[in-house]
Amino acid sequence: MLLTSQIPEEQRLVSWHRTVDRELVPVTVVPHDAGPFTGRLVTGRVGVLRVTTVEADAHRIKRTKTHIARSPEPLVAVGVQVTGRTVLVQAGRQVTAGRGDLFVYDTSRPYFLERPERSSVHVVLIPRRALDLSDEALDSISGTAFGTAQGCAAVLKPVLMTVVSSAHEYSATATGGLVNGLVDLFSTLVTERYEGLVEGAGTARDHLVVRIHAYIDHHLGDPSLSPDSVALAHQISVRYLHRLFEDEGVTVGRLIQRRRLERCARELARRSRTTPTVSAIAQRWGFVNPAHFSRVFRGAYGLSPREWRTQRLESGMTMCATEQHA
């Protein structure tokens, strides 16, 4: 345990850094105020877990790539905000943990913590190797905070607080069970969040694909319709558009062409009082070059547009005559 009140003022911050570096992970700590820094730091081990209680004046904590190089073992930190607040920035996310909240960060990646007033927190550092979780699942939870009123976080919080506050009281037998229980609860929390994100992303993706299909069908007559224009209309990149259609079995360009050909084939086979030219039908559905249209139509249907029209119309006349005779 480190109590700054027992250390000369000019040595307090240095002693704090040394203890954190040795018992936890290297970081830079910067007090908010210019006056004497006061705090209490209690560290310990429970099996493979590193546990700590920090109570200190307002301060900032920064972990950089240089710090990470000095302690390369990947650890996942799970904290409980006992009093005050912690502002956490990591992986492009910024969250604020208030009293009673959980927060999570990954020590193998840079992060920034700010405690804007005197506060206290309990933190458990879990070795990455102890977690049977995918990198994607852990990435989804780094730099996040959780309320603990319900769900898995509500179950994990009291276990974590008990493990930290009573770290020096456990027997070897009890330690193994506590470690496994805490790790299992945390893994459940991560899995719960990750699966929710994946499901939400899948639903959003499905809705977007449906909207894109509808957009293409509505704009088939526009000769400028293309993957570029579709992506622009939906405010996504062309690369992401192609990724969305990887499971569709057809590229966006091919889909546009196929839809246009289907509309043309349907109209060519339709009987009407006025018979539009093949070229007019092709232009109506976005084909500006008659030769190109004829070529791709034959490739899709095995007949030229005129042959298709003649065959379908003759087939329709034969059917009508048969019905009348009957």
Q: 111-133 pLDDT, tens per residue?
A: 999 999 999 999 999 999 999 88
Contacts of 318 (CB under 8 A, 6+ apart): none
79/105 Cα distance (integer angstroms): 9
Decide: residue 319, CB within 10 A, 0-12 exposed, 13-18 middle, 19+ buried: exposed
Q: Which residues pair with 126 in a beta bridge?
A: 76
Which segments in the chain show pLDDT lower than 50? 317-326
pLDDT of residue 122: 95
User: Which class for 11: exposed (0-12), middle (13-18), buried (19 or more C-beta within 10 A)?
Assistant: exposed
Cβ contact 85:116 at 8 Å: yes
Return d(Cα 178, Cα 165) in angstroms, integer.
13
Residues, the chain: 326
Mode of pairing for the β-strands spanning 93-97 and 102-106: unpaired
Q: What is the pLDDT of residue 200?
A: 62
pLDDT at position 315: 67
pLDDT given at position 170: 72
Q: Please tell me the number of Cα atoms within 13 Å of 128 on its side-chain side.
A: 16
